[in-house]
């Protein structure tokens, strides 16, 4: 199941992600983590899916990050998890993930990775055939 974690309706990127999944008719679960924080296990899972660790998910340009004056690299993992749970606005939004994929933020091209593989193959094949038809017609 795909999960979208964000801050309710206040985040435009989170709204766009939810609208995109609805338009694609892909089931998802939405979670407003300002009211329902991530568990330590979920934070660990998200970090395992990142390419660059905390750099991918922590928003260093937020007011709360500056107020806390955090040095993420010097924090223990336990302290990091506690900060994320206590201050969910430290995260970039939306966090879109399943068992093996993660996307941070809304990007209309990258989000397509959540479309089932068979459907992506079918769409690609249809585009290829349309392109071939145009080529054959000399267009």
Angle between helix axes 40-49 and 77-86 (nearest 10 degrees) is 110
* pLDDT score recorded for residue 60: 92
Number of compact structural domains in the chain: 1
Cα 123 to Cα 4, 23, 115, 118, 135: the distances in Å are: 24, 16, 10, 9, 18
Q: Average of pLDDT values for 2-13?
A: 89
Radius of gyration for the alpha carbons in the chain, expressed in angstroms and rounded: 18
* pLDDT score recorded for residue 3: 97
Bridge partners, 103 (sequence order):
96
- pLDDT score of 120 more than 80: no
Residue-number span of the structural domain to which 109 is assigned: 2-136
State the pTM of this model: 0.84
Annotated catalytic residue 11: yes
Q: Average of pLDDT values for 40-65?
A: 95
Indicate the pLDDT class of residue 117, thresholds 50, 70 and 90. confident
Q: What is the CATH number of the domain that holds 16?
A: 3.40.30.10
- pLDDT score of 82 more than 90: yes
Q: Which entry of 4, 5, 11, 90 is annotated as an active-site residue? A: 11
- Residue 79 has phi, psi (to 5 degrees) of -65, -40
- pLDDT score of 42 more than 80: yes
- Whats the size of the chain, residue-wise? 139
* Token couple for 42: 């979920």
């Amino acid at each position: 199941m795909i999960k979208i974690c964000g801050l309710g309706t206040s985040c435009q990127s989170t709204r766009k992600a939810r609208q995109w999944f609805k338009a694609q008719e892909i089931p998802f679960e939405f979670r407003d983590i300002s009211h329902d924080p991530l568990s330590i296990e979920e934070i660990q899972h998200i970090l395992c899916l990142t390419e660059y660790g905390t750099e991918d998910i922590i928003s260093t340009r937020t007011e709360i990050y500056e107020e806390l004056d955090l040095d993420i690299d010097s924090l223990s993992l336990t302290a990091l998890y506690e900060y994320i749970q206590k201050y969910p606005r430290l995260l970039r939004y939306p966090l879109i993930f399943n068992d093996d994929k993660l996307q941070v933020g809304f990007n209309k091209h990258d989000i397509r990775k959540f479309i089932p593989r068979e459907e992506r193959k079918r769409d690609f094949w249809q585009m290829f055939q349309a392109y071939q038809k145009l080529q054959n017609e000399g267009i």
